[in-house]
Structure 1
Amino acid sequence: MPVDPFWTSAFLDFAPGSFEAGVRFWADVTGYALSPARGEHDEFASLTASEGDEYLKVQRLDDGPGRVHLDLHVADPDAAARLAVELGATLVHASPHGYVVLTSPAGVTFCLVSHPGRLRPRPAGWDTHTSLIDQLTLDVRAADADRETAFWSELTGWPPSPSTAPFRPLRRPAGMPLRLMVQAVEDDRSPATAHLDLACDDRSAETERHQVLGAAVRRVDKHFTVLTDPTGAAYCITDRDPVTGRLAP
């Protein structure tokens, strides 16, 4: 039986010295407000839409490089962790506060939590278009892509969607804020990494908006543009529909 997550959220984990710049940029990109800080050292906060539940959160790391990690919201994190380990995950930490930290077979950090979440925020409206962060892509070396896709599909219960190499999206349930997609990359990275993707209905206008906010364009492809935020983290703006998450036929 899969863990059947009822919500997904992404954590932007910022390296020491980059938290303020990173949070300011992503708050401006989304149009979301920054919640009051929480945690023993005020290291956590959320980006909150005017309507809808939280699904984007930020963390100030004590050391190491920045990253993005996934939270799967489940009814029983401990039981879900046992299944994840059976499927090939590695247990990192079981917190007395009720969450469990693991890494996937390819090394992607994720957490199993039980915090509530039900209402997906709507796309944000700008002058001429709309956009929404709606996908977490797992960047995995090609040799690990099949196993990684099977792991996430079996863990969540989300079947793979029809796709074109190197992209392997999973079919998310209706109302889920974040899609999951495995991307087979050409380099030999280990552990695997993750990045955020935005859906929008005018990629050129959305890209220009991000550049004004401090992003840099790295590459322009047929259906997506790769950028880096002011902290150097990569992400993508795609042509996918902000409501459905799918490319137009």
Structure 2
Amino acid sequence: MTTRLVQINMKAHDDAALGRFWAEALGWGIDSEGPGVTNLEPVGFSYPDPAAVCIDIIARPEPKTVKNRVHVDLATTSAAHQAELVARLQGLGATLADVGQGDVPWTVMADPEGNEFCVLEPREVYGDTGPIAAVVVDCADPREMARFWGRATDWTVHEVTDTQATLRSAKGVGPYLEFIRSSDPKSGWNRVHIDVAPYKGDDLEAEAARLRGLGALDPTDAGFDQSAIHWKVLTDPEGSEFCLLTPR
């Protein structure tokens, strides 16, 4: 029994408008499973598949007040492509952002609702990931995150240092999952988080128990009735929320 990363969950004031931005940015298709929910995935994609990590955008009224602890890095193939992509995203409503990055070769941007993301300079390692090079998570201890997520999922740990840990699907496709050391403290619920799911035929309760045995916790300030939803909200050992979806 195991699980794997299947999507990113973003909160938004206007899920449909933000969905249109990201669909245009990534060249993906757009759908909705119900009011206040916008679903994004590559055109012709058969969900779930490690070839892509999809995006669900959920309408919520709370304001964004701090830098997100989860963001995406976008891949480019050349310096010209990077410049063209930055210009195109600005035309769609993105803005340049300063998160204290200093003089770096990548471009930090924010989507129309202020969610940070990066447009990377060309890097050979991301040549086959698709438009999303990596899903990046701020953390205090990348080594601990590699330990937890390397056991929690069937993804392969590729690199572990004191400053960064990198995982990718064992099939060698799709984006990377990267944990970057950050001194910024976690503040409030994450407006962007990752969703993982067991495989079809597995048991949700048993998988939740397995993850708790690895160090996952139940949130102490959920603010909602967990019995009213059909998935599990958990936190990693550092307190960052993630959702364990139903088997699929």
Per the normalisation by structure 2, the TM-score is 0.45
Per the normalisation by structure 1, the TM-score is 0.45
